[in-house]
Every structure is written in structure tokens, then in C-alpha cells.
Amino acid sequence: MTRTPARGATRAAALALGVTLLAAGCGNGDDTGGEGADSSGGWTEPAQDLAADITYSVWDQTQVAAIDENLAAFNEKYPNIDVTVNVTPWGEYWTKLQTQASSDTLPDLFWMNGPNIGLYASNGKIEPITGEVEAGAIDPASYPSSLVDLYTVDGTQYGVPKDFDTIGIWTNTALFDKAGVDLPTGDWTWQEFQDTAAEISEKLKSDGVYGAAGGMDGQTTYYNTIFQAGGYVVEDGTSGYATPEDQAGIQFWTDLMESGASPSMQQLTDTTADQWFTSGKLAMYWGGSWFRAALQDEALAKDVTVLPLPTDEEQATVIHGVANVVAASSTNKEAAQALQVFLASKDAQQQQGDAGSVIPAFTGTQSAFTASMPDANLQVFLDAVAYAKPLPVSNNSAAWNALETDLLPQAFSGAKPVDQVTADLAKQMDAALAEE
């Protein structure tokens, strides 16, 4: 059952490369006690009798079943590598990781996301995958290129995505029927979206139903509209919020709330957009592909279909995905990298996809996802990869994410003019970026 993608052929090249990479790889961690880990920088496929105990840290309990399947397959090839999966809940995951990183006790292999990759990579906490790529064990071309870029920091590749998510509009067709509004075809402009949302809110007002909803989460809302307007959030260490494009992207949501198409900022804080949707009180919800899991087993699911996001200057959606990365301080790098390579393989990715909790990142392994709700047109999320832009991040994303959360609500609620808020945000964000 153990299938390994094209690896052997380039092993010699990798061996040669391994020597050069050794120096780079050893820079940060202590490579003292590795069990037979004589080469830790470059990559050669380890012997199948390699024995090691390694830890794999993740934050999502619901994916553990799929991971266990992966590990069973992995152990067929490497029976002596014992992998412990550690689940730390999202709320504490990063605090724990930071504590471990400060003490050089990071788990051998662990999940990484876009907002944090810069921080860990630029501080030398993560082992690059340059060796595996050069050796041909991981081929970046097999994954969405925008996510490959996301995990490239200062020209060095640190991981490839294990899964991805894009944004679409989850639509309650029953509410469209009830309001007597035609379901949009999906090829639509901002204005058409706004009009549709306002019309539904108007017609179903007595039921307390809204056409659409804004929100505080950039990934599912305003980052998308900023990209659609042709703007950017962060580029080359500067903020894009002062640009007219970004202002338009923010204005979109202000308009949506002002027209009454969306619940107010306060209502959306008390009851989040996804709750409005699952309660059958929201016709169109801008949400990630991950939302499918919340819909399964719900009565509502039979009325749900997905529409692509509307288009302004360009068509765009935010894409993000989690990557498996190896700790630079790992004392079992050989084994950890073997697992990293295995999890990135097409077979492992196919297993992940079939288990159904995420969209696997390896091209061509996603069919199980669309099949899970055959009538909901989940294909929208896969098609979006073609025009998707990666989640905006920098080396210390959290600092300016906090600024967005602090300032933008005033613009959405109409408490302050959009241009004033965005100018202020741009200024503070630039200051934060300058400190990175």
C-alpha cells in the first residue's frame, strides 16, 4: 500500500545538495541528540528502518481521525517511527507554540498558518523544505501557487499547504423563493449583489430576515472586496489602506449596513453571521469552504447552494491553508521530514480529502469535497483557486490585525467616515510594520 511519488530518481542530486544545505539548516536549533540524524539540512529519503519518537502538533480535534489514517499508512513504510499527535485547542495553540519556541522544545512537526509563518520563519524556528523540493520529494507545482507563496519567506520555502479554503457565498435558496427574488447566476457585480441583498431584507423584513451580513473577519469579508477593487492590504512592508481601492473595499460593507441589507455591527457581534445563516435568518452568507462542516446534518442543508463572490475591478477571493512545518530545533529531523514529505504526498492528501474534513491542497484530490454536498455547487470553492489571492500577512501580522479589529468597525457602522478611518488605520499599520 505504500506508494511514494517520484523520489528515488533524484536521490543522488539530493545527497549532493544535502551537504550544502547542511550548514544552512543547522544554524538555529541544537542538533545534538538526534538519533542517527547525521544529516539534518538537506534531504534524502531515510532508511525504512529509521527509528524515532516524534510529536506532531495540531489544533483541530475534528481532523484527528483523518490524521490517524495518514499515520497508519506512514507506519507501513516506517514502522519504527512512532508519531504522537498532540491536539492543543486553537485558543491556546499559539501561546503554547511560542513558549516552546522560546525554549527550543517545539514539536518535531506542527501546523502553521499564514499569519504566523513570517514570525517563526524569520526567527529561524522552522526548517526550510528546500532540500525536499530540490530532491523532488515535494513538488510545489502540485499545490495552489498562491499558498506556496504564502509559505515562502524571503525567498525560502518553509512548507507547502496541506489543505486550503476559499470564500464563497453560502445561499439559502428557500429564502430567495420566499422573497420572490430570482437566484443570481453567479456572474455578478457589486451593485447587483447589494441590490439583491437589500431587496430580500426589504421583502422579508417582517420575518426578521436579512439579505446579507457584514462582519469583523477580514478573511471572509473585507479582504475579498479590497482585492476585488484592485487594492492590497500589505505589500513590501506598507499598508494599502490609504489607497482609494482599499477604501472602496471597505465602503462596500458600510453601504451594505447602511441600506439595511445587513444586520448592524452590534447585532453581528451578538449573533455572528454564520449563526444568522444557520438559523435561517440570512439569505447570503460570505463564508469559507470550512463552513460545510457546520451545515452537515442540518435540516437547512438541502436548501443551500454556493455562489461565487461578486466582481468589481477584478474577480478575487481570499485563499488560505495550513502547512506542516518541521521545527529547526527538532532532534529527530530526519523522521519529522519523512512525515512532512509523506503528508504532502498525493496519496496522503487523497486520504485527507476522502475523510472529508478539509479540502486537500494537492491538485486532483478534491473530488470528495464537492461530492459531500452534491447539490450545493461546492465547485465554486475549487474554481476560486484560479483567481484567489493569499491571506495578507507579514512577519508580525497579529499586530496590525488587532488594529483592523479596533478601527474598522467605526467605518462599517458609519460612526466615522470611511476615508478617515482607513487613513488612520494605514498610518498606525505602517508604524507597526516598521517595527517588524
* Contact positions vs another protein (CB under 8 A): 55, 59-62, 84-92, 94-96, 98-103, 105, 107, 119, 123, 125, 208, 216-217, 265-267, 269-271, 274-276, 278-279, 281, 288, 290-291, 293-294, 298-300, 396, 398-399, 401-402, 405-406, 409, 413, 432
Residue 104 or 195: the one with the smaller Cβ distance to another protein is 104
Supply the minimum distance, in Å, between the C-beta of residue 42 and another protein: 25
What is the C-alpha separation between 151 and 118, in angstroms, rounded?
Answer: 8
Residue 298 or 314: the one with the smaller Cβ distance to another protein is 298
Supply the minimum distance, in Å, between the C-beta of residue 171 and another protein: 18
Residue 346 or 427: the one with the smaller Cβ distance to another protein is 427
Residue 18 or 353: the one with the smaller Cβ distance to another protein is 353
In the numeric block, which cell numbers belong to residue 430? Answer: 505602517
What is the C-alpha separation between 310 and 306, in angstroms, rounded?
Answer: 12
Supply the minimum distance, in Å, between the C-beta of residue 293 and another protein: 5
What is the C-alpha separation between 134 and 390, in angstroms, rounded?
Answer: 24
Alpha-carbon distance values, 308 to 50, 67, 117, 195, 379 (Å): 47, 31, 29, 16, 10
Supply the minimum distance, in Å, between the C-beta of residue 190 and another protein: 24
Residue 144 or 218: the one with the smaller Cβ distance to another protein is 218
What is the C-alpha separation between 166 and 149, in angstroms, rounded?
Answer: 16
Could you tell me which of 151, 154, 261 has the C-alpha nearest to residue 203? 261
Supply the minimum distance, in Å, between the C-beta of residue 333 and another protein: 18
DSSP code, position 208 = T
245 within 8 A of 236, measured Cβ to Cβ: no
Supply the minimum distance, in Å, between the C-beta of residue 295 and another protein: 10
152 by DSSP, 3-state: which?
Answer: strand
Supply the minimum distance, in Å, between the C-beta of residue 19 and another protein: 29
For residue 189, list its beta bridge partners: 311
Residue 16 or 415: the one with the smaller Cβ distance to another protein is 415
Residue 4 or 405: the one with the smaller Cβ distance to another protein is 405
Secondary structure E strands in 352-436: 359-360, 388-390
Alpha-carbon distance values, 51 to 83, 84, 251, 337 (Å): 11, 14, 57, 13
